[in-house]
Amino acid sequence: MGYIFYSLSFTFLILATVAYFTRRHWLHRLPIPEPLYTRLPTSFRDDIEAGLSSAAFDLTANVEAGDSRQGLDDQGKKEVQAIMKRRGVGFDEARRIYMQERFKKNGIGPDGRPRDPKFVSFS
Write out the chain's pLDDT in tens, 123 residues: 778 989 999 999 999 999 999 988 888 787 877 664 455 556 677 777 777 777 777 777 777 777 767 667 778 888 888 888 888 888 889 988 998 888 888 888 877 778 887 877 776
28-39 residues labelled b (16+ CB within 10 A) or e (exposed): eeeeeeeeeeee
Residue 64 neighbours by CB under 8 Å, 6+ apart: none
Q: What are phi and psi of 5, to 5 degrees?
A: -65, -45
Q: Structural domain tally of the chain?
A: 2
56 secondary structure, DSSP code: S
Do the domain assignments include residue 122? no
Do the domain assignments include residue 117? no
27 secondary structure, DSSP code: G
> What number of residues does the chain have?
123
The pLDDT, as a whole number, for residue 71 is 64
Containing structural domain, residue 101: 37-112
Q: Which of 36, 57, 39, 37 is nearest to 48 (CA)?
A: 57
Do the domain assignments include residue 53? yes
